[in-house]
Amino acid sequence: MLRSALPGLVTVVLFFVGWEGAVRGFGIREFILPAPSAILNAAIAIWPTLLNHTLSTLTTVMLGFGASVLVSLPLAMIIAASPVISAAIYPVLVITQSIPKVALAPILIIALGANEVPRVIVTFLVAFFPLVVAAVAGLLATPPELIELGRACRAGRFQQMIRIRLPFAVPFVFGGLKVAAALSVVGAVVAEFVGADAGLGYLIQTSMAFFRTPLAFAAVVTLAIMGMVLFVVVGLVERILFPWSSSATPVTPA
Amino acid sequence: MIRLDAVGKVFAGRDGSRVTALEEVSLDVAPGEFVAIVGASGCGKSTLLRLVAGLVPVTTGRVSVAGKMVDEPSAETAMVFQAPTLLPWADVLRNVTFPLRLMGRAGGDTEARARALLATAGLAGFETKLPRELSGGMQQRVAICRALLQQPRVLLMDEPFGALDALTREEMSLELLRIWQETGAAVLFVTHSISEAVLLADRVVVMSPRPGRIADIVEIALPRPRGFEQEGEPAFHAAAQRIRATIYNRAVPHAA
Ligand SMILES: Nc1ncnc2c1ncn2[C@@H]1O[C@H](COP(=O)(O)OP(=O)(O)OP(=O)(O)O)[C@@H](O)[C@H]1O
Ligand SMILES: [Mg+2]
């Protein structure tokens, strides 16, 4: 794990070193592009505030991500169970995906008030589609021989779904979960841009309004770290709970 | 135990073409009888087994098991598929017990019996391994254990030893005979090997292709328990010759 993470780590360190050198060498002004050291100083100076905003965003992310998991898996099973239902639901899903979430956020906030609910809904809407698609793909990719084995054991349609298709789909579902985890961070920030009084998205907006660019960058870096941590956590959960699955989908953060 | 009455099976292809996989197949298998089926590839052997298993419906004629018409898979019947068909997420032990658990028939002794069966199949110590950690032959042995654990009255085996090397194959055949004699199940056993069919079976059904029909049924009069030393006996050769003649030259089916 450590050994495989090393090349990525070297790349990241080189990137920041190059950045620091460029800012100093060319004398770039701080409100245009702050050096990593300036970003770090800004983050340390206000760390309790930064932590609060981070927790606020994380709450939205987890609620939206959790909701997307709770909705996607049953929905995927229904879609996979019946071609008719699939034909009825899929177009609606695709339509929800074609609506830009940034456009939807202000409408939701006017309808539901400037509270956590519209933010969680936006996060959910961004995260759930890739999860549904991945889960349906997995459920339908179950080899016909395994389905036939289930039939020979007198499994009904429900048992076939729960005991054969669902376990087979686990590696697919985790692929979808990794994408959904990263996207729910995007969704939460989009919602915070539009209507929030806390959160990293809100922090970026207010910082930029006062040209406190280092602070905005600190928030962006925190978001990146949050996305990576979520991705790794999903991978770890897969390894621990479904060890037979993870070797097929190696855990390497993108 | 198994009765096929003028059974025919026609598959409709994707392009609307029709394939007659089986035509006018009639066969009676007594309880505890071991019947082998040989025939060229594509002559409908797997289809015949799937009909008896209740996995596909007949087009014409009727199939019954234990006096009951087959219209869906039955708990009396267990099948060993042409490929091992193991659950990739379950370990060996859970794979073997899967049908009983799925049918709600797993009892307190299920796991102990599964372990004992695995031991007879030379798989002791592999109970917690995943299928992908096993060789192809070991996977197929797990699939055989899975079928035997159901203690079926009808055991359907579709080239169960096809993936095994010649040595394991001979060893497994004798092991199968031993277990079969203990259980007293009626067995339909598809194989490509004529000598395997003669060694194992009470009767060998020889099928001809396009459309799949029964070309000949050969009684094997060798005494049991069977062993490889019998391969040298004249009765063994006569039966094998007659089967071979039917398969390769259908003009002289009764050369023996
Ligand atoms: N589900 C299906 N749909 C259409 N045609 C089928 C289907 N299953 C089998 N067939 C056709 O039925 C015929 C018999 O197939 P079957 O699998 O029973 O042969 P087999 O004797 O088991 O061959 P092998 O020894 O190669 O396993 C073949 O011509 C095959 O193309
Ligand atoms: Mg076959």
Report whether residue B11 contacts ligand 1, using a CB cutoff of 6 Å: yes
> Could you tell me which chain B residue has the CA closest to the CA of A245?
B89
Domains of chain B: 1-76+153-256 (3.40.50.300), 85-151 (no CATH)
Q: List the beta strands (DSSP E) in chain B.
A: 2-12, 18-29, 34-39, 60-65, 68-69, 77-80, 154-158, 186-190, 203-208, 213-219
Residue A34 within a domain: no
Closest by CA to B190, choosing from B212, B165, B211, B167, is B212
Residue B35, classed as helix, strand or coil, is strand
**Can you list the alpha helix ranges (DSSP code H) found in chain A?**
2-26, 36-45, 47-81, 83-98, 101-112, 116-140, 144-152, 157-159, 166-194, 200-209, 213-241, 243-246
DSSP code of residue B15: T
| A19 within some domain | no
Residue A2 lies in a domain: no
* Residue B17 Cβ < 6 Å to ligand 1: no
pLDDT at B151: 92
Residue given tokens 């729910």 in the structure block: A184
> What are the φ/ψ torsions at residue B68 (nearest 5 degrees)?
-105, 135
Considering only CA atoms, which residue is closest to atom 30 of ligand 1?
Answer: B42
SS (H, E, C) A203-230: HHHHHHHCCCHHHHHHHHHHHHHHHHHH
**Residue B89 to residue A153, Cβ atoms within 8 A:** no
**Adjacent-strand bridge partners of B27:** B4
Cα–ligand 1 centroid distance for A124 (angstroms): 47
Residue A146: what residue type? Answer: L
Residue A177: what residue type? L
Q: Is B205 in the pocket of ligand 1 (CB under 6 A)?
A: no
Q: Coil, strand, or helix at residue A171?
A: helix
Instruction: Quote the distance between the C-alpha of residue B217 and its chain's center.
Output: 16
pLDDT tens sequence across B45-83 = 999 999 999 999 999 999 999 999 999 999 999 999 988
Domain limits for position A82 = 50-246
- Residues of chain B with pLDDT > 70, as a percent, come to 97
Q: What are the pLDDT digits (tens) for A87-106?
A: 998 888 888 888 888 888 88
Q: Rounded to whole angstroms, how far apart are CA atoms A127 and A67?
A: 9
A214 Cα: distance to centroid of ligand 1 (angstroms): 69
- Report if residue A86 sits inside a domain: yes
Q: What separation in angstroms does the CA of A2 have from each of A6, A9, A26?
A: 6, 10, 35
Amino acid at B47: T
Chain A environment of B53 (Cβ under 8 Å): 152
User: For residue A144, is it within any domain?
Assistant: yes
DSSP B13: P
Q: Which chain B positions have a beta carbon within 8 Å of A148's beta carbon?
A: 55, 81, 85
Judged against a pLDDT cut of 50, whether residue B252 lies above it is answered with no
Q: How far is the CA of A155 from the centre of ligand 1 (A)?
A: 24
For ligand 2, the distance from its centroid to the CA atom of residue B229, given in whole angstroms, is 29
Does residue A127 belong to any structural domain of this protein? yes
Distance CA A16, CA B153 (A): 71
pLDDT truncated to tens, each residue of chain A (254 aa)?
567 888 989 999 999 999 999 999 999 998 889 999 999 999 999 999 999 999 999 999 999 999 999 999 999 999 999 889 889 988 888 888 888 888 888 888 888 887 889 999 999 999 999 999 999 999 999 999 999 999 999 999 999 999 999 999 999 999 999 999 999 999 999 999 888 889 999 999 999 888 889 999 999 999 999 999 999 999 999 999 888 886 544 433 33
The minimum-distance atom of ligand 1 relative to the CA of B50 is: 18
Q: Is A37 a member of any domain?
A: no
Instruction: Classify residue B62 by its DSSP letter.
Output: E
Q: Which residues, including other chains, have CB under 8 Å from residue B150's CB and lie 6 or more apart?
A: B75, B78, B99, B100, B105
Number of domains in chain A: 1
Strands B213-219 and B34-39: unpaired
Name B189's bridge partners.
B36, B157
**Residue nearest (by alpha carbon) to ligand 1 atom 29:** B42
ipTM of the complex: 0.88
* Residue B203 vs residues A61, A100, B220, B239, B247: alpha-carbon distances, Å: 68, 70, 6, 10, 16
Count of alpha carbons within 13 Å of A233, Cβ hemisphere only? 10
Q: What is the pLDDT of residue B97?
A: 97
CATH number of the domain residue A200 falls in? 1.10.3720.10
Chain B nearest-CA residue for A143: B85
Burial label, B112 (beta-carbon count in 10 A; 0-12, 13-18, 19+)? exposed
**A153: number of Cβ within 10 Å:** 24
Cβ–ligand 1 contact at B98 (below 6 Å): no
Q: Which two tokens stand for residue B65?
A: 């098991």
Residue reference for tokens 């095994």: B164
Residue A21 lies in a domain: no
